[in-house]
Amino acid sequence: MAVAIRLSRAGRTNRPYWRIVAMDSRKKRDGACLDRLGTYDPINHKIITFNAEGIQEWVSKGAQCSATVAKLVKQYSASQKSEASVVVAESAPVAKRPRVKAAA
């Protein structure tokens, strides 16, 4: 099973907040998660809760962080200014396929 650490939307209309979750990468965005690792408020740009040990545990098991979660981890590590920073392996960027013009 390919595990991804990504964001899951919660909140009401026009007032979103996001949960940082570990879930099967084949599941829907707001589907069942394996573990809740934190919450993020995009309106105020604040990390409300953050479980650095949980994220590190999932990464050590082979989970891949989304680009947004990797940014949030860096933001959290910078705000904590501690020696024990979280090491995150970002997923590889998706390569674009070259365009092929159709033969007339």
Residue at 37 is within a domain: yes
Share of residues in the chain with pLDDT > 70 (%): 79
Total domains in the chain come to 1
Residue at 97 is within a domain: no
Residue at 10 is within a domain: yes
95, burial (CB in 10 Å: exposed 0-12, middle 13-18, buried 19+): exposed
Taken in order 93, 2, 40, 28, is the CA torsion positive or negative?
positive
Residue at 86 is within a domain: no
Residue at 74 is within a domain: yes
Q: What is the pTM of this model?
A: 0.72
Domain span including residue 37: 3-80
pLDDT at 90 over 80: no
CATH number (domain holding residue 50): 3.30.1320.10
pLDDT category at 34 given cuts 50, 70, 90 is: very high
